[in-house]
Structure 1
Amino acid sequence: MKRIIYTLIGLLAFNVSNAQELETLIDEALNNNPEIQKFELQYSIASEKVNEVNTLPNTEFGVGYFVSEPETRTGAQRFKVSAKQMLPWFGTITSRENYVSSLANSKYEDIVIAKRKLMASVLQSYYNMYANKAKQDVLVENIKLLETYETLALTSVEVGKASAVDVLRLQMRQNEMQQLKDVLSQQFLAEQTNFNNLLNRGNNIAVNLVDSLMIPSKDFDVTIENLALHPELLKYDKLYQSIEQSELLNQKESSPMIGFGLDYINVAERPNMDFSDNGKDIVMPMVSVSIPIFNKKYKSQTKQNELQQQEITAQKQERLNSLETLLDKAINERISARISYATQTKNLKQAKDAEDILIKSYETGTIDFNDVLDIQELQLKFQMNQIESVKTYYVQSTFINYLTQQ
């Protein structure tokens, strides 16, 4: 699990202190998340059941009193005490323990799966907050830029080179950006609550985010073969093994059971008689055998086990196909994010060049503030798309690691 954490955090292109802080957050989530605790308790319960099945059938005790005392040569029988213990066939208890242990092993895979999903969720929420904060920062920069243009427009109005309408348009555009920033701010708080809930801590605890993320120059290698060893698939193997153990137990339980017992009968002395066995109590050891002559139940259980194994095999193949589809989609989306990032970077540079041309136009005495708004809107669009591309790259990289990291 530590290796997975290091691999996921190794994707992040920021300084060591931030990486260590994120590792600490993931450890906190793994230790405190109630869903993980739930699966760990389920595993503990399943493991404890081994002690439950490691027992013999109940010992039977019986007491009887003769209301009408039967007379025997040695005296009248007054009451009877009996004890009986049935013993399962050799190896039956061991088979039960193996079956329950195999069920516990499948429960353990639930813990591994839940931890992997939690780490991926923590990182995804982190990237969502980063993208939200980065977009807010971009909006603040663009609002300041529009304020600069507004100052230019006011100056142009004074000299008759622009109209008040141009100033109002710039102000309305600022209002729209401020509205978008306020909306993003509320969305950030909601995502922060989600992040803190994953760590099972107070909703209002602030999360320290990295200042900037960049797409690395080279993608990490993806080992497709590791997909076959994913915990979601290994769980099906464990379930298949539990059915095998269930069948072994079924065969043992279809065997006879042997019982050992002892009957004690109290005998009263015959009055006015003197002989050696007068009033001698009766002790009778007993051996019994329980044979499942009508074993249709066990034959049916064998058939059910065979069908369940076929079902598990089909479910595993279905899940493998789904994971392969998800992995291929994640790889392609990560490639698309890199392409989009490169395109947005190029467009952003061109938008910046256009902005510089407009500024130089103002210096010569001519500026079209409609062009200013158009260029500013394009620039904002490219910046937002660039941030979204970075987020998508890291989210998909996290998901790829969830599927393939061992």
Structure 2
Amino acid sequence: MITNRKNNRHKYTVALIATYLCLFLPAYSQSDSLAVYLDLAARNNPGIVQKYNEYQAALQKVPQVGSLPDPDLSIGIFLSPMEVLSGNQVADIRLMQMFPWFGVLKSAKDEMSLMAKAKFESLREAKLQLFFDVQRTAYEYQRIRQNISISQRNVELMRAIERLTLVKFKSSSGSAASTQSNSLKANSSSASASGGMSSSMGGNSANSASPSTSSGMASSSMGASSGGSDLADVYRIQIEIGDLENSISLLQNQSRTVTAKFNSYLNRSMESAIFLSDTLVPDTLGISLIAASDSMLANNPMLGMLSYEKQSLEARKRMVSRMGYPMVGLGVNYTVISKNPMSNSSMNGKDMLMPMVTVTLPIYRKKYRAMQAEAVFQQTATEQSYSTAANALQTEYYEAMQLYQDAERRITLYKAQSALAQRTLEIMVTRFSASESLLTDILRVRLQTLDYELKQVEAVADYNTATAWIKRLMAFSPIQ
């Protein structure tokens, strides 16, 4: 009995786990976060891969310039041995190694190392720009999707108002028809009652019947006027619905374009689905604005790249100045000598070994002076580029701050305005159902409500974009 209970409990547990996996895992697999897409873009974007390969190529230049020149080996063989005093010379072997002046190789390595660091900063800059582009496009995608959702809700509201207007139109048309029928019956009774008097009153009978007839005609005219007004309201509502549906179609086309742009950053199919929340939530900056300004100039990769380039040019100047000094070559010359049977010398048949020293003579100074001047001009140009980049960075920071503060203010404003307009619209719809409000007032308030909702979503998208922009200027990477 106990065994059966344990088996049943085990089966129940397995079934519960299977149900959980079926219900929740598919939804979780489609709820990709923005961080997942950022990581995917960092690994697959062709621009980032290009910058990474350029950085790796720059690293490979360091051992190239830091090594000594290849030694020079020369071998000469005499086809017919040459007779010398100590025998017959068979071959001559020479090995020579050139050494640059002291500090040339170190300066060259420093230059290439600093250039590699500049390439790495360029890689960081490209990644930060890519992350910002992905975030900005994602916020644009969410804004469009939320605008579609808001517009669809407004279409449903307008259809409800349309149904309510149709009900009023039918009821007013029925009331007008009933009033017209009662008026005709009253006119008939009045005419029959005054039939006996018609002979005595003569021409006055026609005049006595005219007020009743004109009253019936007035009632019929009022009923037709009311019915025509309700029908015009229905037409106006249908016009508004058509405009909303057209706006939804335009937003859907924009969504497809933004989807293709987003997927291009990830280097995947342009029609791949994007699984992001349709509701925009304001992001947080996380630090004070003053700290953001200080961090921007200290950590921005563009300024770091220019700084490394300036340092590499300083190392190049040191290298060029030392290249104007002589290069020293150390080598050895080995001569192979065979014995000469006709010689009685004690050195007969002994090979000769001769150390050698070679020195270059850099007497053409014009090219070295030109190389030094080139390095100076490039360093000056880099300093100016640094100043230009710093000024542009500060200007960009103020633009991002303006967008951030403006979006923050608009979020608060439109949130309050949207709530007020929504409550006003609910009151107007209730009063319209009781025939205490005009349709034109409802449409006007409805347009205000829709406008505030769309502006609020746009303000949140701008706020998040400005937050991502400021973090990008600070060189804050959303993923490591």
TM-score w.r.t. the length of structure 2 is 0.73
Structure 1, unmatched stretches of 5+, are 1-17
1:179 to 246, 249, 263: 246
How does 1:368-383 map onto structure 2 within 5 Å? 368-383=438-453
- Displacement after TM superposition at 1:266 (Å): 4.3
- Displacement after TM superposition at 1:239 (Å): 0.8
Q: Cα 1:59–1:219, aligned 2, differ >3 Å: closer, same or farther?
A: closer
Distance 2:357 2:426 in 1: 104
Asked if structure 2 preserves the Cα contact closer than 8 Å seen for 1:95 and 1:252, the reply is no
Q: Report what 2:16 is aligned to.
A: none
Q: Cα 1:35–1:273, aligned 2, differ >3 Å: closer, same or farther?
A: closer
2:347 to 277, 282, 292: 277
Distance 1:403 1:132 in 2: 26
Q: Cα 1:350–1:211, aligned 2, differ >3 Å: closer, same or farther?
A: closer
1:148 aligns with 2:217: no
Q: Report what 2:65 is aligned to.
A: 53
Q: Deviations over 1:330-351 (max 9, x none)?
A: 1112221222233323433443
Q: Report what 1:112 is aligned to.
A: 124
- Displacement after TM superposition at 1:150 (Å): 0.8
How does 1:4-403 map onto structure 2 within 5 Å? 21-64=33-76, 72-75=84-87, 77-158=89-170, 159-160=172-173, 161=226, 162-203=229-270, 204-209=272-277, 211-214=279-282, 220-222=287-289, 223=291, 224-229=293-298, 230-267=300-337, 269-270=339-340, 272-403=342-473
Mean Cα deviation higher: 385-394 or 168-177: 168-177
Aligned residues: 389
Distance 2:382 2:90 in 1: 61
Distance 2:287 2:111 in 1: 41
Mean Cα deviation higher: 278-287 or 43-52: 278-287
Distance 1:234 1:249 in 2: 23
- Displacement after TM superposition at 1:76 (Å): 5.3
- Displacement after TM superposition at 1:146 (Å): 0.6
Query: Which amino acid in structure 2 is aligned with residue 209 of structure 1?
Result: S
Asked if structure 1 preserves the Cα contact closer than 8 Å seen for 2:145 and 2:278, the reply is no
Distance 1:102 1:405 in 2: 20
- Displacement after TM superposition at 1:319 (Å): 0.9
Asked if structure 2 preserves the Cα contact closer than 8 Å seen for 1:267 and 1:279, the reply is yes
Structure having the higher helix fraction is 2
- Displacement after TM superposition at 1:245 (Å): 1.2
Query: Which amino acid in structure 1 is aligned with residue 263 of structure 2?
Result: N
Distance 1:274 1:219 in 2: 96
Structure 2, unmatched stretches of 5+, are 1-29, 174-225
Distance 1:19 1:320 in 2: 40
Query: Which amino acid in structure 1 is aligned with residue 279 of structure 2?
Result: D
Q: Cα 1:277–1:214, aligned 2, differ >3 Å: closer, same or farther?
A: closer
Query: Which amino acid in structure 2 is aligned with residue 170 of structure 1?
Result: I
SS at match of 2:281: coil
Q: Report what 1:14 is aligned to.
A: none
Q: Cα 1:20–1:389, aligned 2, differ >3 Å: closer, same or farther?
A: same
Distance 2:70 2:408 in 1: 68
Distance 1:360 1:42 in 2: 67
- Displacement after TM superposition at 1:252 (Å): 2.6
Distance 1:155 1:215 in 2: 46
Asked if structure 2 preserves the Cα contact closer than 8 Å seen for 1:265 and 1:282, the reply is yes
Query: Which amino acid in structure 1 is aligned with residue 328 of structure 2?
Result: I
Q: Cα 1:356–1:213, aligned 2, differ >3 Å: closer, same or farther?
A: same
- Displacement after TM superposition at 1:267 (Å): 4.6
SS at match of 1:318: helix
Mean Cα deviation higher: 324-333 or 268-277: 268-277
Distance 2:34 2:426 in 1: 39
Asked if structure 2 preserves the Cα contact closer than 8 Å seen for 1:215 and 1:338, the reply is no
Q: Cα 1:19–1:175, aligned 2, differ >3 Å: closer, same or farther?
A: closer
Asked if structure 2 preserves the Cα contact closer than 8 Å seen for 1:26 and 1:119, the reply is yes
Q: Report what 1:13 is aligned to.
A: none
Q: Cα 1:237–1:214, aligned 2, differ >3 Å: closer, same or farther?
A: closer
- Displacement after TM superposition at 1:169 (Å): 2.4
- Displacement after TM superposition at 1:269 (Å): 4.9
